[in-house]
Amino acid sequence: MKKMIKPTIALVMGAMLTMAFQCGKSEDPEPLNTNYNARHSECLSHTDKGTKGIYSPDSASVAYDAASQRLHVTHHNLMVNCGTAGMDGGITVSAIRNGQTIDIYEREDEGNPQADCMCDVDNEFDLHGIERGTYTLVFHSCYPEPMSFTLTF
């Protein structure tokens, strides 16, 4: 009986991993033209890396320009490494539109100096080619869980 359990567990785990990687994928997601050199503020607050769960809650604000179909996004309190926060650029933003959902990926650039603390920054960027409608924006960053909200403009 023990010999059956291990292969079964491996099979179930493999199926779960396959589903996890397929979850949310679309047949044809549409990459959006973003400002890859996102502009971010200086550190708003510092947290030692050893401190767990202490950070400012993140939020976002948007402004829509109908004439240019441009959505200006500010991600407030995005958590990054303190070394990234002191750099010009330092954060790469990319986005993929899947129907009425826009997944936004904010990543610290590779090669950024690393410090032993975390920092909240306000990160700004533009999304182009967005027509009027109702959208769910999902922010994916390195820390912590993704944030999402729905808006109509």
Ranges of each domain in the chain? 28-152
Q: What pLDDT sits at residue 26?
A: 40
Confidence (pLDDT) at 123: 93
Q: How far apart are CA 58 and CA 79, in angstroms?
A: 8
- Distance, CA of 22 to CA of 131 (rounded, Å): 28
3-state secondary structure of 17: helix
Q: Distances from the Cα of 14 to the Cαs of 2, 5, 83, in angstroms?
A: 19, 14, 37
- The pLDDT, as a whole number, for residue 10 is 41
Per-residue model confidence as pLDDT tens for the chain (153 residues): 555 544 444 444 444 333 333 333 344 566 666 554 578 888 887 666 665 555 678 899 999 999 999 999 999 989 888 888 767 768 889 999 999 999 999 988 877 778 888 888 999 999 999 999 999 999 998 766 889 999 998
Backbone angles phi, psi at 124, to 5 degrees: -115, 145
Residue 139 vs residues 2, 22, 94, 145: alpha-carbon distances, Å:
43, 18, 10, 9
The C-alpha atoms of residue 74 and residue 46 are separated, in whole angstroms, by: 20
Q: Compute CA distances 34 → 5, 63, 108, 152, whole Å.
A: 48, 15, 16, 20
